[in-house]
C-alpha cells in the first residue's frame, strides 16, 4: 500500500519518459503518483511535430494511452495547470484544488522566446510549440499567401518547412549572419542557405525586426533595423526557447542567472524534496534543449528516487543529425573548434552541395567535433570516433572525402567497443544491444523493444540496424530484411500483404501489419506499392501524405523552386501540330525548352500555380503526363526503323510507341527506361536500358537490366527472335516480377545482380515459368494497363485537387517566386551568383 505521494508537473516527452522509468522500479510501490498536464492532450512526440501537417493526428504522435496511466495507477490530470507550490506545506495548487506531495518533479519544459518587438501580439503572429499552435497556424494559412518564420535555428527551419507544406511562400528571418549559428560555421551555413533557397524558401540573415505593422499588399509588414522591410500574411516566432521556471521562481527555488531551475547530479533542486528534469532544469550552468539529455535526466531521477547511490547526471552529448526541408545537417561535439590546439579539416563540394568539416586534436589522433551539410552518410562513423575516443586513421581527412577520392570506408560495427553509445536518447550502448541479443532478441524489433534504442529522435536507426545485423550474423542468426523499423517485412513482403489482403491505404497497412507512424523510407515505398496494385490517383486524400515533393506536385522541382513540364512523346514521334502547341505554351509562360536524350521536350520554369493551367492546354492538345517526376516508366527511345532507314529491318518506332503506351504509368521501385532499335546498328542505344529491344530479320532480341547513370551497366541478352506477342508477354513478366520482388529504390540492374541465380534464374522464372506465376504476372500487368489514367488529366478536372497548386490562397494573381532571371541563348534561365545583372 503506497503511503507517499509523488507529483509530476508536466506531461511532455521528458515527463512521460520519467513515468515509464519510475513505474518499473521497486520504489513505485511506495508512492501514489499524480501527474498534471497543462495541455488537454496526452504527452506527444514534439520531435516529429511537423508530421501533424502531413496527416498525422495526436493519436499518431501520442507517446502513451490513457489506459497505460490507468494500468499503472497513475492519477492523470490533463488541462489542469498548476498555479502554485507551497514548499513548507508541500502542496501544489490548481484551479481545482490543493494536492499534497512528498516528492515533487518539475518537468515543465520550456516556452518559445518571442523577441520584444512592437506588434508581436498581432492575431496573425504565432509560436510553434503545441498542437493547438499548429491548428491556429493552419487555420490562418488557409487564407494566406505568404508566411515568415523569425529564427533560423533547428525549430525555425522546421516551421519554415511546415509553412511551405501548407502552400505558402515561405521566408526565414535570422538575426545572426547565418542559419543554425549554434551548430554550423560560416561555410556550412552558406551551403545550407543555398540548398534551402533552391527549395523555394527565401532566407534573410542579419535582420533585426524593429516593429510589426499593417502591410499594404499583405496583412503585416516587418520593419528591420537597416530600414528594409518584408510583407507577409502570418509570422511564426521560433527564435529559441526559455526554461519554464515560473513556478520555481515563485516558490523561491534557486534559479540560474539567465533562467533555469538549478539541479545537482541527481536532478534535485535547492529543495531536497523537489526535482527538475528536461528543458526547465539548469545543470552546471547548462540548459539542454534536446530530448536525449532530458531522457537521461529522467532515468537518473527515477534511479535516484529508487535509492540508487550511483545514479548521476554528468552531462550529455549534444550532437544532432537532422533532415531540414529535405537537407541533411549534422553537428558533432566541438563543431566550432574551440578546444585549444584543435585543427580543422574541411571538404566543400559546391557542385554537389556537400560540406564537411572535422575538428581534430592537436596531435591528430582524436576527433573532437564535426559539421556536415548536404550529406549525413558520414555522421554515424564520425560520431563513434568522437564519442568513444577511437584513434583516427593516419590521414584523418580520409573520413570526409568521397571514396572515389581516397575516402575511408565507414566504421563497421566490429570496430566499436562495447561501451560505444548507439542511442543517446535512451543511453543504449553496443554492449546493451549484445546483451539483449544474448537474452533472446532475434531481430531489430525485439532489440528495440528490449532496449528502447531508436525510439526517441530516431537518429540512430541506421547505426542500430548495422550493429544488430552484425551481432546476429556472428551468432548464426538470419538477418532481418525489414524495410524499416515500422514494418517487420521486406518490400516484397509488403507488396504481397497489400495485394493479397486488398489493402488500399497506408493507414490500414500500418495499423494491421506495422507499428508507429511511418517514415521517409516506408511511406514512399508503400505509395509505390499501392499505385502498382490499385492504380488509384496519387493525389487521393489517403495517398497524398505518402508522396515526396515531386510526386506531390506531379512535377520535378528545379533548383530555383520552379517546376518542369514533361509531356509524354511516345517513341519520340510527334506531329507538327503538337510541336506547335509545345512552342505556344512555352512562349506564353516563358518556359525554357530542351529536347532531352529520351526524345521528348522538357519545359522548365513554371511556378506551382501555373502547372494546372499549362497541363490543361497540353491535355487539350492530346498530350499526357510523362511521369518524369515518378518512379515509373520514363521514356522508350527509338530510331526511325524500317519505315525510313535503309538499314532497318523492323518498325522500331511503332514498337516503341506500343511499349510506351502499354507501360506508361507503371509504378516501380525505381525509374524504368526502354529503347527500341530497328537494327543491330543500335541507334536507340537499347542495350543501355532497363528494357532494350533490337530488331532482327526474324523478330526481336530482348535485353534486360541495363542502365546508364552513375554506374552504367550493359543489358544482358535475355531472349532472341521473338515475335510481337512473345516480346510483349516476356516484357510483362520481367517488369511485373521486378516490381513485386525488388527492394525500394533498386534499379533493375542491381535487382538482378543481387538475385540468387542472377540472369539464369530470371530466365527460368520468366521463360520457363519455374514458379508457376507467369499467367498471374501477365494478368496483373493487363489490369494495370486497363486502369491507366493520366494523373494530370485527373488532377486538372478535379477542383479539389487543383487547390493543391495554389500559391496564394486568397489572391487570383500568379506571381513568380523570388528567383531572379536572366537570358541565355535566347531563353530564360535562373540568375546565378556568378551573373552580373538580371535580364
**Could you report the per-residue pLDDT of 403-432, keeping only the tens digit for each?**
556 556 566 777 778 877 788 777 788 888
Who contacts 278 (Cβ-Cβ below 8 Å, separation ≥6)? 10, 12, 13, 14, 15, 107, 108, 109, 288, 294, 297, 298
Candidate ranges 32-41, 461-470, 757-766; pick with highest mean pLDDT: 32-41
Q: Are residues 159 and 288 in the same domain?
A: no
| Percent of the chain with pLDDT strictly greater than 90 | 49
Give pLDDT tens digits for 580-618.
999 999 999 999 899 888 888 999 888 888 899 999 999
What are 421's three cell numbers?
Answer: 553509445
Q: Are residues 118 and 106 in the same domain?
A: no
Q: Which of 385, 409, 433 is the C-terminal boundary of a domain?
A: 409
- Say if 582 falls within a structural domain: no
Arithmetic mean of pLDDT, 751-768: 87
pLDDT at 646: 84
Q: Are residues 121 and 213 in the same domain?
A: yes
Q: Are residues 375 and 449 in the same domain?
A: no
- Say if 595 falls within a structural domain: no
Q: Which residues partner with 221 through β-bridges?
A: 213, 231
If one compares 652 and 709, the residue with the highest pLDDT of the two is 652
Give pLDDT tens digits for 312-323.
998 887 888 777
Q: Are residues 648 and 726 in the same domain?
A: yes
**Given the C-alpha cell 511551405, which residue does it identify?**
164
Q: Are 445 and 455 in contact (CB under 8 A)?
A: no
223-249: string of b/e by CB count within 10 Å (b at 16+)?
Answer: bbeeeeebbbbbbbbbbbbbbbbebbe
Q: Are residues 659 and 782 in the same domain?
A: yes
- Say if 600 falls within a structural domain: no
Give the chain's mean pLDDT: 87
If one compares 97 and 711, the residue with the highest pLDDT of the two is 97
Arithmetic mean of pLDDT, 38-46: 90
Angle between helices 724-741 and 758-767 (to 10 degrees): 120
Give pLDDT tens digits for 372-391.
998 887 888 888 888 888 88
Arithmetic mean of pLDDT, 140-166: 89
Q: Are residues 14 and 102 in the same domain?
A: yes
What are 832's three cell numbers?
Answer: 546565378
Who contacts 97 (Cβ-Cβ below 8 Å, separation ≥6)? none
pLDDT at 833: 61
Question: How many structural domains compose the chain?
Answer: 6
Q: Are residues 441 and 516 in the same domain?
A: no
Q: Are residues 247 and 102 in the same domain?
A: yes
Q: Which of 409, 435, 458 is the C-terminal boundary of a domain?
A: 409
pLDDT band at 839 (very low <50, low <70, confident <90, very high): very low
Give pLDDT tens digits for 209-228.
999 999 999 999 999 999 99
Q: Are 102 and 31 in contact (CB under 8 A)?
A: yes
Q: Find the domain containing 664 and state its range.
A: 626-786
Arithmetic mean of pLDDT, 278-284: 95
Arithmetic mean of pLDDT, 45-51: 80
Instruction: Give the C-alpha separation, 432 to 418, whole Å.
Output: 8
pLDDT band at 360 (very low <50, low <70, confident <90, very high): very high
Q: Are residues 251 and 278 in the same domain?
A: yes
CA 631 to chain CA mean position, Å: 17
| Percent of the chain with pLDDT strictly greater than 70 | 94
CATH code: domain of residue 375 = 3.30.390.30
pLDDT band at 561 (very low <50, low <70, confident <90, very high): confident
pLDDT at 838: 44
Q: Please state the pTM of the whole predicted model.
A: 0.59
pLDDT band at 150 (very low <50, low <70, confident <90, very high): very high
Q: In 417-511, at which residue ranges do the beta strands (DSSP E only) sit?
A: 421-423, 428-429
pLDDT at 479 over 80: no
Q: Are residues 146 and 223 in the same domain?
A: yes
Q: At 409, give phi and psi (nearest 5°).
A: -65, 165
Amino acid at each position: 500500500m503506497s503511503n507517499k505521494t509523488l507529483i509530476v508537473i508536466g506531461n511532455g516527452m521528458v515527463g512521460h519518459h520519467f513515468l515509464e522509468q519510475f513505474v518499473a522500479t521497486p520504489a513505485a510501490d511506495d508512492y501514489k503518483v499524480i501527474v498534471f498536464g497543462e495541455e488537454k492532450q496526452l504527452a506527444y512526440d514534439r520531435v516529429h511535430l511537423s508530421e501533424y501537417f502531413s496527416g498525422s493526428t495526436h493519436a499518431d504522435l501520442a507517446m502513451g494511452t490513457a489506459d497505460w496511466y490507468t494500468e499503472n495507477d497513475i492519477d492523470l490530470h490533463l488541462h489542469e495547470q498548476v498555479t502554485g507550490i507551497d514548499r513548507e506545506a508541500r502542496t501544489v495548487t490548481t484551479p481545482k484544488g490543493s494536492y499534497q506531495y512528498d516528492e515533487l518533479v518539475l518537468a515543465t519544459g520550456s516556452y518559445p522566446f518571442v523577441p520584444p518587438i512592437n506588434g508581436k501580439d498581432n492575431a496573425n503572429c504565432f509560436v510553434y510549440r503545441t498542437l493547438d499552435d499548429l491548428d491556429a497556424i493552419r487555420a490562418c494559412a488557409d487564407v494566406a499567401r505568404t508566411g515568415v518564420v523569425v529564427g533560423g535555428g533547428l525549430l525555425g527551419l522546421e516551421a519554415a518547412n511546415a509553412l511551405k507544406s501548407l502552400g505558402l511562400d515561405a521566408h526565414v528571418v535570422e538575426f545572426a549572419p547565418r542559419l543554425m549559428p549554434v551548430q554550423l560555421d560560416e561555410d556550412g551555413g552558406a551551403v545550407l542557405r543555398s540548398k534551402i533557397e533552391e527549395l523555394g524558401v527565401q532566407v534573410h540573415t542579419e535582420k533585426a525586426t524593429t516593429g510589426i505593422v499593417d502591410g499594404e499588399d499583405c496583412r503585416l509588414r516587418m520593419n528591420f533595423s537597416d530600414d528594409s522591410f518584408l510583407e507577409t500574411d502570418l509570422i511564426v516566432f521560433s527564435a529559441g526557447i526559455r526554461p519554464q521556471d515560473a513556478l520555481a521562481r515563485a516558490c523561491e527555488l534557486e534559479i540560474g542567472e539567465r533562467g533555469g531551475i538549478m539541479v545537482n547530479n541527481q536532478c534535485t533542486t535547492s529543495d531536497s524534496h523537489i526535482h527538475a528534469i528536461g528543458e526547465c532544469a539548469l545543470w552546471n550552468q547548462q540548459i539542454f534543449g534536446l530530448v536525449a539529455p532530458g531522457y537521461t535526466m529522467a532515468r537518473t531521477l527515477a534511479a535516484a528516487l529508487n535509492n540508487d547511490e550511483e545514479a548521476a547526471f554528468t552531462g550529455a552529448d549534444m550532437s544532432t543529425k537532422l533532415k531540414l526541408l529535405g537537407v541533411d545537417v549534422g553537428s558533432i561535439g566541438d563543431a566550432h573548434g574551440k578546444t585549444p590546439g584543435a585543427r580543422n579539416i574541411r571538404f566543400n563540394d559546391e557542385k554537389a552541395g556537400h560540406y564537411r568539416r572535422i575538428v581534430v586534436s592537436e596531435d591528430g589522433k582524436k576527433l573532437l567535433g564535426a559539421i556536415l551539410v548536404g550529406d549525413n552518410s558520414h555522421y554515424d562513423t564520425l560520431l563513434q570516433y568522437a564519442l568513444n575516443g577511437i584513434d583516427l586513421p593516419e590521414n584523418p581527412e580520409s573520413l570526409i572525402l568521397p571514396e572515389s577520392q581516397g575516402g575511408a570506408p565507414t566504421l563497421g560495427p566490429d570496430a566499436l567497443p562495447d561501451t560505444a553509445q548507439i542511442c543517446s536518447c535512451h543511453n543504449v550502448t553496443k554492449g546493451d544491444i549484445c546483451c539483449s541479443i544474448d537474452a533472446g532478441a532475434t531481430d531489430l524489433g525485439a532489440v528495440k523493444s528490449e532496449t528502447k534504442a531508436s525510439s526517441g529522435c530516431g537518429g540512430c536507426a541506421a547505426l542500430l540496424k548495422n550493429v544488430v545485423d552484425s551481432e546476429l550474423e556472428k551468432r548464426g542468426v538470419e538477418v532481418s530484411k525489414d524495410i524499416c523499423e515500422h514494418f517487420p517485412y521486406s518490400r516484397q513482403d509488403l507488396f504481397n500483404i497489400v495485394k493479397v489482403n486488398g489493402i488500399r491505404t497506408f493507414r490500414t497497412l500500418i495499423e494491421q501489419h506495422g507499428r508507429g507512424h511511418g517514415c521517409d523510407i516506408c511511406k514512399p515505398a508503400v505509395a509505390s506499392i499501392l499505385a502498382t496494385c490499385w492504380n488509384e490517383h496519387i493525389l487521393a486524400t489517403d495517398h497524398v501524405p505518402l508522396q515526396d515533393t515531386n510526386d506531390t506536385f506531379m512535377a520535378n522541382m528545379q533548383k530555383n523552386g520552379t517546376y518542369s513540364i514533361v509531356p509524354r512523346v511516345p517513341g519520340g514521334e510527334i506531329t507538327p501540330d503538337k510541336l506547335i502547341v509545345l512552342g505556344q505554351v512555352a512562349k506564353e509562360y516563358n518556359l525554357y525548352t530542351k529536347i532531352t536524350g529520351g526524345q521528348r521536350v522538357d519545359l522548365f520554369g513554371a511556378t506551382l500555380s501555373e502547372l494546372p493551367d499549362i497541363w490543361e492546354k497540353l491535355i487539350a492538345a492530346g498530350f499526357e503526363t510523362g511521369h518524369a517526376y515518378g518512379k515509373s516508366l520514363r521514356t522508350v527511345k527509338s530510331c526511325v526503323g524500317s519505315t525510313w532507314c535503309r538499314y532497318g529491318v523492323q518498325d522500331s518506332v511503332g514498337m516503341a510507341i506500343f511499349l510506351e503506351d502499354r507501360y506508361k504509368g507503371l509504378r516501380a521501385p525505381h525509374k524504368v527506361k526502354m529503347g527500341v532499335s530497328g537494327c543491330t546498328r543500335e541507334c536507340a542505344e537499347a542495350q543501355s536500358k532497363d528494357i532494350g529491344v533490337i530488331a532482327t530479320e526474324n523478330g526481336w532480341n530482348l535485353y534486360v537490366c541495363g542502365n546508364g547513370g552513375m554506374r552504367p551497366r550493359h543489358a544482358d541478352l535475355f531472349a532472341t527472335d521473338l515475335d510481337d506477342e512473345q516480346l510483349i508477354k516476356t516484357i510483362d513478366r520481367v517488369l511485373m516480377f521486378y516490381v513485386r520482388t525488388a527492394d525500394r529504390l533498386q534499379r533493375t540492374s542491381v535487382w538482378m545482380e543481387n538475385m540468387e541465380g542472377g540472369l539464369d534464374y530470371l530466365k527460368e522464372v520468366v521463360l520457363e515459368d519455374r514458379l508457376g506465376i507467369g499467367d498471374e504476372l501477365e494478368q496483373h500487368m493487363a489490369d494495370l494497363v486497363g486502369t491507366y489514367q493520366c494523373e494530370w488529366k485527373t488532377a486538372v478536372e478535379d477542383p479539389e485537387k487543383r487547390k493543391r497548386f495554389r500559391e496564394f490562397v486568397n489572391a487570383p494573381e500568379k506571381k513568380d517566386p523570388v528567383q531572379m532571371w536572366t537570358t541565355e541563348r535566347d531563353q530564360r534561365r535562373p540568375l546565378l551568383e556568378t551573373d552580373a545583372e538580371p535580364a
